[in-house]
Every structure is written in structure tokens, then in C-alpha cells.
Structure 1
Amino acid sequence: MRRAAPGEIMDEIMDGAGRVAAVREAMAAAGVDALVLRPSPDYRFLGGLPDSGAFLVVTADVVAESADPAGLVPEGARRVGVDPEMRVRELFGLAIEAELVPASAVLAPLRLCKEPREIEAIGRAVAAAEGVLGRARELAWFGATERAMAHRLRLLLVESGCEEVVALRVAAGEHTARPGHVPGKRVINPGDALTVSVCGRWGGYCAEVARVFVVAEPPEDFEAMYSVVAAAYRAGLAAVRPGVPAAEVSRTVGEVIDGSGYGRFAAPHACRGVGLGPDEGPRPGDDTVLAAGMTLCLEPAIYVPDLFGARLADVVACAPPGPAPLGSTSHTLHVLDR
């Protein structure tokens, strides 16, 4: 498959007239007179060019990029939606005399369900992320540090065409039990478990994939714990279908882990939305009801303090018949032989 050039997928996806019409209708319902967006997922949703350096302004009459957004906001505007990623200096520099409210109140509901071409684009991003982890299995891990291997993965992400490395994790041994672990100087040795995850942006869209490896042989009791995470993933996947609250997917995952005896070590949430951003609606723990076209990162995890942990992550689309995983690699525990 030919990889699309940066921005090419976005040009293909944008149905400008229909999308802008929907945004204007939502603005009117929310009493918002204008949107002012900086380069961000909301900005890309409306066709803004990621590297333009300008703001994107949407009003009832105008959709335009400008370095001076205040000049495009209608005179007498009472409420202006601003990008949630707006920097403080950008907010002060707007010089707009109106009530400023988060633009996400207007745009987040419209971004929940992806168009078919968007799902295809996310699928291409998933394939690229899986490709990076596939190549990672061939690297020499013995004797290397977490930080060194994270650097090698970053290079593989760049080689894959990744436009932005959003997050990258390499955790070895007892560090796999730390959800927010930052790769450090710990040397990777035989008998270590490894949690490896990559989250990046390809063609404007984000994907995260996480896999668990063991070096030479698994630690004692690790395979049993990992089998619970894999079973919880399968249960969560089966729960993804239209009409099911997103929180129910997490509850289903939690029930499997609770039944195994690892319940107190389970991650609190097991799914979140992903698309133009790495963390968007449905949000963890919210009551959003799943609908066709929503895309989720399903990510069950168990973290046993000071011992080990395991986390799987894959992107799944909600389709009318049920779940549609966008990835293709298995969850078999892979043993690294070097």
C-alpha cells in the first residue's frame, strides 16, 4: 500500500460544506457566534492546515485562516468558542471582547462518529504503528537500557512516516507495574517482562498500539497474569457495539479482571476515544452511548506494584454488527530471543 503524503488524507476526507454546515448549526444551538481555533485536532477537523501558523475562524458567514482572528469575529459577538489547546499568551493576544467558552462544547459531539474515510485513515495509522512494533521484536534487547530502546523505537516511528510521536513507552521488569513510567537507565535482562507502546500520528490521525514481550523467559506467575489481561481484552472487545455505554466496556473488562483475583490491580478505565487526537470522546468513564463510526483505544491493564504489569492497547471501530478491530497482530505473548 502506498503511504499518503502528509496532509493528503486530510484533503481526501474533508467534506467542507457538509461539515461546516453541521458546525454552524451546533454553534447556533449553543449560542456561539464564532469559533477561533489554533492548530489542533479541532482545527484539523475543519480543514485547517497543520503548519500554517494561523488561526482558523468560523462564523455564520466566514471560514478562514488568519493571523489576526479578532478581525474576522463579528462585531457585537457575545460568545466566542476558543480552542481548548489555546495557549495563555494566545488567549490574551486575541483581544476579543466577548465571553470566551471552550470550542469543544460545539465540536466534540460532531467528532465522535467518524466518516468511513476517516476510519480507513485511522486503520492506516494503526497498520503503521503495528509495523513499528513488529520491527521492534527484531531488535537486540539484551543489555540495552529502556531509554536506548525508546530512542530506537522513535527512529522506527520516524522511518514509518509518523508525523508526530505522541507517546512512547518502554518499561522493563518491575517498571512495567508503573502506568506512567518514563524510560530510564534500567538495563533489560533475561527474565524481564516488557511493556512496549507507541502512539503517533500518521496522515493526520492518531493510533496507539501496546504489546507485552518477555526476554528469554517469562517471570514466575507472569503468564497467568498476562492471560487475564488478554481475556479482559477479548471481553471488552465483544462489548463494543452500538447502543452500549462506553463505561460498560470498561465495566466488562473490570469484571474479568475482578474474577481472576487481580481486581485491585486493574487500571481504572479500559477504553477512550481516538481519532484526530490521541484522547478524545468517548472519554474514560463517561456515559456516552456507543454508535457506529466511533473509534476506541481498548486498553486493559493490570499493575502489580513492585512486581510486574501488563497492558494491551488496540484501536477498535464500533460498527453496526459489533466491534471492528483496525489492527491485525495477535496478542500472543512474544518471547524475545536476543
Structure 2
Amino acid sequence: MAAIASDQARQLINLERLQAELDRSDLDAVVAVSPENTHYLSGAWIRTQVSIRDRLALLVWPVLGEPTFVVCNIEESLAERESWIKDVRTYVEFAQSPVNLLLEVLREKGLEGGRIGIERRFLTAEYHQELIEGMRADYQAADHLLERVRAVKTPGEVSLIRDAFFKTEAAIRAAWAGSRAGDSERVIAQRMVDELTRQGADGVRHITLASGENTIHAHRRPGDRQLGPGDLLLTDIGGNWGGFNSDMARMGVCGDPTPESAAEFSSYREAYVDTLQYLRPGVTAASVFHYCARAFGDRGIDLTSPHIGHSVSRGGGHENPILHPFNEQRLEPGMLIALEPTFRPNDTRRYHLEDLVLITPNGADIITDWESTAQMIRITT
């Protein structure tokens, strides 16, 4: 995927929501540390943040004044190319601690002794200790603040994520159309990866591909098991397009399903679609979970998933609101939900669908082609 223009990257930030959260927090500044939040605020997708956790990128967003982006010097050209932020500072890896440079920036902005929000969940204990020992300030956790900002997507974000999901489904269907009995999980998975690349993905964020009895595993790596007639095929896959991710699950079957699996899938999908259509603004994440459990129970099947969906966006994994029974966060217009309850009738098989839903002022828009899941995707015998 071509890099997003730096001026467009700024428009992808929900600035109104960010300002409102900062006003409520009484913070003087927020420091973003995680890949997803530095990407959100800067527009630059620095992939080494994921693979090399000591190589920090940090973004200082003061309530008053302009933001500053702190990156390793080998990432300077990328930061300047992709980010709308003009003030990019660099440190030399191993020669200088990134936290030391962060402290210089904080002092320069007059934040010593102030109230500073920082992502505690991402920053390691060692770096956090260096921070609090390096400068006197009232350091507050800002993880939930940034999550609340990102939870409601801008129209530009919705467009990019919608496109990522469409391309992911196209990749799944193209790869499975070229697969047949006798192919191994590994071979089919590689076709899916190749198709994602053809669709413009920068890489694969995750891939689960399992057949037959392997479908019971939540995150099964594709192996050497060969697909046979009547076998179920399950995938949960996500690609990355410039830091924006997809996350989709689909079911397939080699040839015709057995009468038993056809009946199980039909009951599961009915409950799944029922829950898709329940999504709307104002309901809590917990109420969606409980509604789904009742929809399963009404059809004589059990819901065993600890959660049934989550939001999506940037380089990380699941984002809030996560649909679990203890989350009282309410759904709001502009939220994106990837709904994914699973059904495991026994120790030989499991069913899993996942579609993208946009919460709207009057209800919800199921973005992905949920109607195409009425039947499992057929694989040639």
C-alpha cells in the first residue's frame, strides 16, 4: 500500500474527541508510546516498534503547543516522509536512551512538575523507572484515554479499514477457489498470503488456517494436514495496509458437509446473524455479549467464547470496545466492531465467522458480505 500523505494522516485523527478527553483529564500533555498510538497521532507506521521493542518511538502531545515525535535516527526519513508532525527528534540507538531524549523534550516544553499522561501498559518497567527518576512530574496512565479517542473512527479511517476487509475476503475466496482435496493447510495458507500481497497488503498481521479436528484450536498454525472430503476449513486472517489492519474469519468445507455439520453451522450462523443485527448505538458491550449467549441458547447451542468481538484499527490487536460480559462501555456512532462469536460443538470441530460492522446514528451498517456466509465456502474434492 502506498504511504498515506502526511496532510491526510492528520485528518485521520479524531481531534475533537482527543481535545475533549484532554480537557476532562486535566493533563498537561500525553505521551504515546505504543505502535498503534504513535501511528494514530503521527501518521507514520514504524514497524520496528513491533519487532524491536527497545527501539522506542514516542510522541509528545502537549495541551498547549505543537507535538514532537521522538524516533530512532534510522527511522528519521520515514517519520519525516509519513508524518504531518514537523518537529521530529532523533536518538542514536545504544548511544542514547530514547527516554533520555523524551525527558529533554518534556523539559523544553515546560512540563517538569506537570501532569503527564503516558501509556503504562506498553512502556517497560525499566523505561518507566528511568522516566520517573529522570524528571519530577505527576505521571498518570493515559492508556484508556487514548483508547477512548480511537474508539470512534473518522470517516477516513472507516474507508481505509473497510477497504482492508474487502481485500481480505477477496484473498480468502481466491485462494480457496484454487485449492482442492489433498492440499495441505500450509499450502492453502500460502495461497492466502500470496493473494493478500496481490491485494496490496504490506504483510500478514495474523493467520489461523485449520482443517478437520484442527479447527478446535483457537490459533492453530497451518501445518501438514491434508484436506479431505467432508473436512471443515477455518481461517481467521488479517492483513496490514500501511498500519491499518483487517481481521476476518470464514468457514469452508471440502465437497459437501455432513448432515450433522450442516445443521450445526446453520444454527450457529442464525445466532451469529441475529447478533449482527442487534448491534446499535447505546447498548453496552456486555449487553451484546449476553444477547449473543441467549441467541445461541435459543437454538440449543452453547456460547463458550470469553468475548464475541472487538474494535479494529491500527497496528495492534483487539481494541476497545471488546464485547465481553464485564464491559459496560456503550457503543457509539462511528465505532467499528468485528463480531466473532465461535461455536465448538465437540472436540472434533469448531465454527468461526467474523464480519465488520459500523455503528451508525440509527443502527448499524454490516460492511462486509455477511450474506455470502449462508453457506460454507466449497473446496473442490
Is TM (by shorter chain) over 0.5? yes
1:326 paired residue among 350, 360, 367: 367
Q: CA deviation at 1:160?
A: 1.9
1:12 equivalent in structure 2: 8
Q: Distance in 2 between matches of 1:75 and 1:23?
A: 22
Q: CA deviation at 1:97?
A: 4.4
1:247 equivalent in structure 2: 286
Bigger drift between 284-293 and 177-186 goes to 177-186
Tell whether 2:274 aligns with 1:271.
Answer: no
Q: CA deviation at 1:16?
A: 8.0
Tell whether 2:105 aligns with 1:69.
Answer: no
2:349 paired residue among 294, 302, 308: 308
Structure 1 residues 29 and 214: CA distance shift in structure 2, 3 A:
same
What code does the residue aligned with 1:228 have? Answer: S
Answer yes or no: is the 8 Å Cα contact 1:247–1:284 preserved in 2. yes
Answer yes or no: is the 8 Å Cα contact 1:6–1:204 preserved in 2. no
1:84 paired residue among 108, 121, 128: 121
2:44 paired residue among 37, 41, 49: 49
SS in structure 1 of the partner of residue 330 of structure 2:
coil
2:27 equivalent in structure 1: 32
Q: CA deviation at 1:90?
A: 4.7
Q: CA deviation at 1:99?
A: 5.0
Q: CA deviation at 1:28?
A: 4.8
Q: Distance in 2 between matches of 1:216 and 1:289?
A: 42
Bigger drift between 39-48 and 77-86 goes to 77-86
Specify which structure has the bigger relative contact order, considering alpha-carbon pairs within 8 angstroms and separated by 6 or more residues.
Answer: 1
Structure 1 residues 26 and 148: CA distance shift in structure 2, 3 A:
same
Tell whether 2:341 aligns with 1:293.
Answer: no
Q: Distance in 2 between matches of 1:223 and 1:104?
A: 44
Q: CA deviation at 1:87?
A: 4.4
Q: Distance in 2 between matches of 1:50 and 1:289?
A: 29
Bigger drift between 35-44 and 311-320 goes to 35-44
Aligned residues: 332
Identity %: 25
Bigger drift between 184-193 and 167-176 goes to 184-193
Q: Distance in 2 between matches of 1:63 and 1:123?
A: 29
What code does the residue aligned with 2:37 have? Answer: D
Bigger drift between 327-336 and 93-102 goes to 93-102
Note the alpha carbon deviations across 1:227-260, whole angstroms, 9 max, x for none. 1221112111111111111222222222121122
Q: CA deviation at 1:24?
A: 4.9
Structure 1 residues 11 and 333: CA distance shift in structure 2, 3 A:
farther
Structure 1 residues 22 and 299: CA distance shift in structure 2, 3 A:
closer
What code does the residue aligned with 2:61 have? Answer: V
Note the alpha carbon deviations across 1:153-196, whole angstroms, 9 max, x for none. 22222232223422111111111122232322322212210111
Answer yes or no: is the 8 Å Cα contact 2:12–2:157 preserved in 1. no
SS in structure 1 of the partner of residue 177 of structure 2:
coil
Gaps of 5+ in 2: 48-55, 71-89, 91-100
SS in structure 1 of the partner of residue 378 of structure 2:
strand
Counterpart mapping for 1:98-137 below 5 A: 98=137, 100-137=139-176
Tell whether 2:378 aligns with 1:335.
Answer: yes
Q: CA deviation at 1:106?
A: 1.9
TM-score by length of 2: 0.79
Higher gyration radius (CA): 2
Structure 1 residues 102 and 164: CA distance shift in structure 2, 3 A:
farther
SS in structure 1 of the partner of residue 252 of structure 2:
strand
Q: CA deviation at 1:88?
A: 5.0
Structure 1 residues 25 and 237: CA distance shift in structure 2, 3 A:
closer
SS in structure 2 of the partner of residue 114 of structure 1:
coil
TM-score by length of 1: 0.88
Structure 1 residues 258 and 166: CA distance shift in structure 2, 3 A:
same
2:243 paired residue among 172, 179, 204: 204
Structure 1 residues 163 and 230: CA distance shift in structure 2, 3 A:
same
Q: Distance in 2 between matches of 1:71 and 1:230?
A: 55
Tell whether 2:206 aligns with 1:167.
Answer: yes
